[in-house]
Structure 1
Amino acid sequence: MSTERVPVELCKGINGLDKVVLKEVRGSSAEVYLYGAHVTSWKNDHGEELLFVSNKATFKPPKAIRGGIPICFPQFSSDGSLEQHGFARNRLWSIDTDPPPFPTVGTNKAFIDLLLKTSEEDMKVWPHSYEFRLRVTLGPGGDLMLTSRIRNTNTDGKPFQFTFAYHTYFSVSDISEVRVEGLETIDYLDTLKGRERCTEQGDAITFESEVDRVYVSTPTKIAILDHEKKRTLVLRKDGLPDAVVWNPWDKKAKAMADFGDEEYKHMLCIEAASVEKPIILKPGEEWKGRQELSAVPSSYCSGQLDPQRVLQGS
């Protein structure tokens, strides 16, 4: 009897860009562009898209792809000489043919290893030598896992520091109907108020205007409850203490050339991140940061979604 093999296919995507398609036997799938090591699709076993990509996303280097999961490195936001959110999301990555050992991967998982190394171009704006390895894994239940390993390969003995985020755009039915749970009572830096430090007061985060916040020292698990789709998206993270919550709302949406005027209603960014305190690596040291995404049906409890079952689950 032949064993079932989970396919990993390298093919051409939009505008002829190379992409990798991961497929799981029950029907879930993910797509990763080598440009930016950018996950642009994650579908459940019913073929429903769980990530948001703008209809106006260009897929034309050097512009980053609007939506999916951009990787922000070596900085989140815009500071100094580096472009906003760093350069990893608009560089061409290679397939890593000789990755160092990761935790054991079972035969029932589809994964791809990607690699980004220092270029002369990057050295001009960020004068450090590094190796960035990313493994994208699609698990047997359709869970999507991104594991990043960043190593300082400087030969001059100098440490470097960076900030980081998986800038995940989730697809939601209606932003006004969505609740985010798991960040109650947590402090956050409000970017709309000059990074003023505030404390989350609500029993959940709901949305009725622009939100751009960095929640600090957050739990390892955050849930997005989508009332209309009867679905809860769960983000688990490791090595990433912060969580960015962002929705541009109507005015900012209209100001973005690669974003539809009304698309803010159907997306929400919840980002596993390390923003407040930069990560410092000495030569030879490696940092590891991981996020795992899963989608589960939501149950009803007195007319509301019951998040406790999700947040207390495995």
Structure 2
Amino acid sequence: MVERPHKPSSLPNTAAAAKSAGPQPTVDISDDNSRITARLPSGESLTVLLYGATVVSWKNADGTDNLWVSEKAALDGSKPVRGGIPVVFPVFGPPPSNHATSSLPQHGFARNSRWEYLGKSTSEASAEPEASTTGTTADSSVKLDFGLSSSNLSPEARAAWPYDFGVVYSVTLGPNSLQTAVNVRNVGDKAWDFQVLFHTYLAIKDISKTHLTGLLGVTYTDKVLNASTATESNSKLAITGETDRVYKAIPQSTTTVIVDDKPRFDVIRDNLPDTVVWNPWKEKAAAMGDFSPDDAYKQMICVEAGAVADWTKLEAGDTWEGGVTCKSLL
């Protein structure tokens, strides 16, 4: 069994104990049934579109949003969202022509399918007497579960990838942290393989004052330079132009985003060996119709944990899971 030091712990459903507990997280479904919003008593919040199960907001208690979303992002389900955290499955990038995913759109169907909201669970903070002056405890995190399966795919997606699967996507909001994880099941009688990635757009103040640590010595494919292969030689990676790199089999679990010489985010992978680092820079940003404003590339960086350098094979009846925890270090 693979050792997973960052495997998420399960959250017990505390609904039955709500009467004896302190302030509880609130979970609201929008009037048009398009999005779910969760808030912690401490002030952190999270919003997830059912279209793509896309996280479009993750705010700290002070209201600072840790995610970047384009001003022209489509939030009505007409196309994948430019920003937030789109879910990439079962293929990353343009599908290869000689593969079972070849008829799928770029990045697969998860980010442009409507997911089902499966419910919430919560975990309590410490019950030590000093933790509360009232003798009750507040819930310190809330987990939202979303489901997608072959039975609720569009006819087009089902025809393009006719395999039987089930995915449960869990999004957990905690104090200064956001955890996203998928459980992928092969519920059919044939083996199939897949790729998965969390396409996370992190909000930053200034790309010129930003660098990444945790990638030194890692081999990567540089998509900007004709998919050439190189080894990262910088202990502090600066972004100085269009960047689109797939870092493979990273031995260190954490990549840190540093802004103004201060740690801003920790991105901690669980059973995800790879990370994509992406920024479109000036020319490409201006050429993208849903990227706005044009100079917003200065306020975002994508640090995308995934399993995309190779394929993961899932035999009939088997299950695979992996995820990532982002910590806001403000």
- Provide the C-alpha distance between the structure 2 equivalents of 1:231 and 1:187, rounded to a whole number of angstroms: 24
Letter in 1 for 2:87: I
Which of residues 73, 90, 93 in structure 2 aligns to 1:77? 93
1:215-234 superposed matches below 5 A:
215-218=247-250, 219-227=252-260, 230-234=262-266
Look up the match of 2:233.
201
Look up the match of 1:10.
29
Which of residues 298, 310, 319 in structure 2 aligns to 1:265? 298
CA contact (8 A) 2:104 2:157 kept: no
Letter in 2 for 1:233: F
Look up the match of 1:45.
61
Letter in 2 for 1:86: G
- Provide the C-alpha distance between the structure 1 equivalents of 2:147 and 2:21, rounded to a whole number of angstroms: 32
Query: Taking structure 1 as reference, are residues 273 and 2 closer, same or farther at Cα in structure 2, changes over 3 Å only?
Result: closer
Letter in 1 for 2:278: W
- TM-score, scaled to structure 2: 0.83
Letter in 1 for 2:22: T
Is 2:190 the counterpart of 1:158?
Answer: yes
Look up the match of 1:294.
327
Is 2:281 the counterpart of 1:249?
Answer: yes
Alpha-carbon distance, 1:283 to partner: 1.0
Is 2:160 the counterpart of 1:125?
Answer: yes
Alpha-carbon distance, 1:17 to partner: 5.8
1:71-150 superposed matches below 5 A:
71-79=87-95, 80-96=102-118, 105-106=123-124, 107-118=139-150, 119=153, 120-139=155-174, 141-150=175-184
Displacement over 4 Å in runs of 4+ = 104-107
RMSD: 1.8
- Provide the C-alpha distance between the structure 1 equivalents of 2:51 and 2:77, rounded to a whole number of angstroms: 8
- Provide the C-alpha distance between the structure 1 equivalents of 2:59 and 2:76, rounded to a whole number of angstroms: 23
**Deviation readout 1:176-206 (Å, 9 max, x if unpaired):** 1101011111110111123211000112110
Total equivalences in the alignment: 286
State, as a whole percentage, how many aligned pairs show the same letter. 35
Look up the match of 2:9.
none
Gaps of 5+ in 1: 298-314
- Provide the C-alpha distance between the structure 2 equivalents of 1:256 and 1:6, rounded to a whole number of angstroms: 38
Gaps of 5+ in 2: 1-19, 96-101, 125-138
SS in 1 for 2:297: helix
- TM-score, scaled to structure 1: 0.87
